[in-house]
Structure 1
Amino acid sequence: MRKLEIKGYGYVLPKETVEFKGGIRYKISGDETQLGIGVKAAKKAMENAKITINDIDCIVSASAVAVQPIPCTAALIHEKIAKGTDIPALDINTTCTSFITALDMISFLVDAKRYKRVLIVSVDVPSIATNPNQKESYELFSDAAAAVVVEYSENGSGVIDGMQKTWSEGVHFTEIRGGLSNYHPKNYSEKTKEEFMFDMNGKSVLKLSKNKALKMVDDFLKKNEMKITDIDMVIPHQASHALELMMKKLGVKKGKYIDIFKDYGNMVSASVPFTLCWAFENGKIKKGDIVMLSGTAAGLTTNLLLMKI
C-alpha cells in the first residue's frame, strides 16, 4: 500500500443554478471563472487541512479542459496562491477521470517521499462549451471545482492499487474538436461553431462502457483478492442517470455507492473529488474504510482506484 492520507478537502459550486427535467445544474455567471473557482477550492482544502501554501510541495491541476493552452493550469493556480515560491506545478489530464489518475500517480511520489504534501485541484466549467442543440449533453453537466490535500502518513491510510485502461475505438464518442491544432481557432465561424462545442454520442459511450468496464472491475478486484462486498463505499463519477444501472450490474448495493447526479449533475473532472468531499461531509465514509474511486472518461478511458481512508 502506498502510504498517504487525505489531509483536507474543499469544493466550490457557482452561484447560479438551472433546473432541468433531469435535475439541478450549476453554471458560472457574473465575475466567476474557471480559474477563480479552482483557486477558491484550493484555498478551502488548505484551510480544511489547517495548513498554508508554504506546507505544500507540489501543485497538480487534474482538470479535463485547461484554462488556456499555455502555460499549464497548475501554473496559473500557482500564480494566484503561491507566487514568489518555487513549488512545482503540473497538469495531469484524462478528462473526466483526471483526479483518479492524478491521485494514483501522485501516490507513488508521496510514498517514495519525493513530496510530503500535494495539492490536487480539479475544476471544469462545461456550461461555456455545451451545445444547446444537443439536449442529451446540454442538460447533463454542472460547473464545479474540488480540491484535496494529500500527505505522507504512517497511520495505515493509503492507496491500495489503481488501474487505468483506454479503448480508443471510443475516442470520437466524446470530444471537442475545435480550439487547438486539430481544428484551429482561425477556422471558427457561425457555420463551424459547433466544432468548438462539446459533442457526445451517449448511447455509444454507454454501450462501450458496459462491455469493457464491467470486466475491468472484475479483473481489478481479482488482482487484489477482493470481492465487491469487501468495499465499504464506491465513489463513482457522476456521469449520468445510467449510474444506478451500472452499479447494479457491478453488484454494488444501494447505500454502498454515492449517487448525487440529480442534485449536482456531471461535473467532469471535479465529479469524483466533489463526490468524495460530499461523502466526507455527510458521514458516508470514515477512517479505516476501504473506498473505490471509479469512472469513465473520453478516450474511452476507465479508471479504478482502491484506497484505505
Structure 2
Amino acid sequence: MTRSCEIAGWGTVLPTQVVRFGDEVRYRIEDGVSHLDMLTGACERALAHAGLTADDVDLVLSASAAGIQPIPCTAALVLERLTLTGHAAAFDVNSTCTSFITAVDVASRYLDAGDYETILVFSGDVGTRFLNPEQRESYELFSDAAAAVVLRRSKDPDRGVIGSLQQTWPAYAHDTEIRGGLSRSPAQVYTASDPADYLFDMNGRRALLGMMRVLPDFFDRFHRRFGLSRDDVALWIPHQASAALGPMLDRLGIPADRRIDEVAAFGNMVSASVPFMLARALDSGRVARGDTVVLCGTAAGLTANVLALRL
C-alpha cells in the first residue's frame, strides 16, 4: 500500500567555484560561505517553491552525511536560521551518502500516519573541506552542494512511497570513513591525534568490490518484495558515487535511457547527490506527476538504500 507523500517544492544550492580535472567538473564551496549557509539557502528555495514559510512546517529533517557541530543537531541550527517562531520539531537522520533516501522513508511514515502534514527535508555536505590531496581518487571525485524538498500528505492515494529497502553490511564499515572528531577524538586529545584521521579516507577498490557482491541480490529482493518491475520505473536516480556508476547500473539491469549518470559533470555530492539530481529531473520535466522514480544508492557502512516514489 502506497504511503501518502508528495513533493510540494524543492530547491538547490550549487557553489559557483568550479574545478576541472580533465573533462570532469567539480564544484567547491566558496571562501566565506558556510555549510549552514548552503543548507539554509536550499531550504529557503524549497519553501518558496512550495509557497510556504518555515512557520508552516511541522517537522524539519536534516539528512546530511556530516553535521555542522556535535550539539545541537543540524536540523535545529537550520531551523534557527529559517524562523524563531513556528511549531516544528527538528532532528537529524544519517545514513551518510543515502541520508536523503532514509529521511524520505521516515517522513513518508509520519505523513501517512497523520502525525504531520508538512515536512521539510534537506541534505548537503562540504566534503571538499575534508579531502586529502594525496588521495587523488577521492580528491578529484567530490563536489559540494545542498538540496531540499518540502513533503506533504497527498489527497491522491496513488501518490507516495510504493516501497523501500535498506540494509547495512558491517564487514565493509571501514572502507570509507573520517575517523577524527566526536567521542573518538575529543578536544582534549586533538593535539596527540593523527591529522590524517580528520580527512576523508577511502579504499575505493574494496568498496566497489563490496558493492558488486551485495547489490544484485539486494535489488532483486526489492523488486520481488514490492512487485515492481524495471519497466514500471520512469527514472532511476542513483547516488552519483563514482565513475563506476554506469557499469554498476548495467550490472543491475537498469536501462541507460531511464537513469541519471552525471558523475563527470557534477561529481559525488555526498548526501546532496540524490535530491540534487531529483530536483534537476523535476525542473527539466524529465519526470512529472504520476511517474514512478526510484531513489537509490550506496553509502559508507556499507549501506544500500532504495525507495520507489510515485510523483
Query: TM-score, normalised to structure 1's length?
Result: 0.97
Provide the residue aligned with 1:157 in structure 2.
159
Q: Contact (CA 8 Å) 2:56, 2:86: kept in 1 or not? A: no
- Quick one: structure 1 residues 185 and 136, their matched pair in 2 at CA, closer, same or farther if it must change by over 3 Å? farther
Task: Provide the rounded CA distance (Å) in 2 between the counterparts of 1:129 and 1:101.
Answer: 24
Query: Which range moved further: 183-192 or 200-209?
Result: 183-192
Is 2:242 the counterpart of 1:240?
yes
- Which 4+ residue blocks in structure 1 deviate beyond 6 angstroms? none
How far has the Cα of 1:29 moved from its partner?
Answer: 1.7
1:78 aligns with 79
1:264 equivalent among 246, 263, 266: 266
For residues 69-108 of structure 1, the C-alpha deviation after alignment (integer angstroms, 9 at most, x for no partner) is: 0000000001100213331111000000000000001101
Residue in 1 aligned with 2:90? 89
Give the Å deviation of 1:2.
0.4
Amino acid aligned to 1:51:
L
- On the 8 A contact 1:173/1:205 being kept in 2, the answer is yes
Aligned to 2:306: 304
- Give the superposition deviation at 1:189: 4.8
State the alpha-carbon separation in 1 of the partners of residues 23 and 307 from structure 2.
29
The equivalent residue for 2:114 is: 113
Contact 1:9 1:149 in 2 (8 A): yes
2:290 aligned partner: 288
**Structure 2: tracts of 5 or more residues without a match:** none
Amino acid at match of 1:286: A
Q: Deviations over 1:206-264 (max 9, x none)?
A: 11111101110011001112222221110100001111001101111111101111111
Would you say the 8 A contact 1:12–1:145 is kept in 2? yes
Which residue in the other structure is 1:211 paired with?
Answer: 213
Q: Which amino acid aligns with 2:14?
A: L
SS at match of 2:182: coil
Moved more, 222-231 or 54-63: 222-231
Residue 15 of structure 1 deviates from its aligned partner by 1.7
Does structure 1 retain, via aligned residues, the 8 Å contact 2:54–2:86?
A: no
- Paired residue for 1:135? 136
Residue number in structure 2 paired with 1:201: 203
- Whether the aligned pair in 1 keeps the contact of 2:58 and 2:87 (CA below 8 Å) is no
Unaligned stretches of 5+ in structure 1?
Answer: none
Does the residue aligned with 2:257 lie in a helix, a strand or coil?
coil
The amino acid that maps onto 1:308 is R
**Does the CA contact (< 8 Å) of 1:236 and 1:293 recur in 2?**
yes
AA at the equivalent of 1:34? H
Q: Helix, strand or coil: the match of 1:89?
A: strand
Report the equivalent of 2:14.
13
Residue identity over aligned pairs, in percent, reads 44
Q: Secondary structure at the match of 1:307?
A: strand
Question: In the alignment, residue 83 of structure 1 is paired with which amino acid?
Answer: L
Q: Tell me the residue number matched to 2:224.
A: 222
Equivalent-residue separation in structure 1 for 2:122 and 2:46 (angstroms): 9
Question: Counterpart amino acid of 2:51?
Answer: K
Please say if residues 14 and 32 of structure 1, whose CA atoms lie closer than 8 Å, have aligned partners that are also in contact: no
The secondary structure found in structure 1 opposite 2:155 is coil
CA distance in 2, matches of 1:298, 1:251: 23
In angstroms, what is the RMSD of aligned CA positions?
1.3
Q: Shift of the alpha carbon at 1:21?
A: 2.6
Letter in 2 for 1:80: R
Change (3 A) 1:82 1:248: same
**CA positional deviation for 1:289:** 0.7
3-state DSSP class of the match of 1:255?
helix
| Counterpart-to-counterpart distance in 2, 1:54 and 1:76 | 15
Matched with 1:104 is 105
Counterparts in 2 of 1:292 and 1:133: CA distance versus 1, 3 Å = same
TM-score scaled by length of structure 2: 0.97
- The residue type paired with residue 44 of structure 1 is R
* Alignment length (residue pairs): 309
Letter in 2 for 1:240: S
After TM superposition, give the deviation of residue 191 of structure 1 in Å: 7.6
> 1:187 deviation in Å?
3.7
Native 8 Å contact 1:15 1:26 kept in 2: yes
Q: In the aligned structure 2, how far is the partner of 1:244 from the partner of 1:158?
A: 28
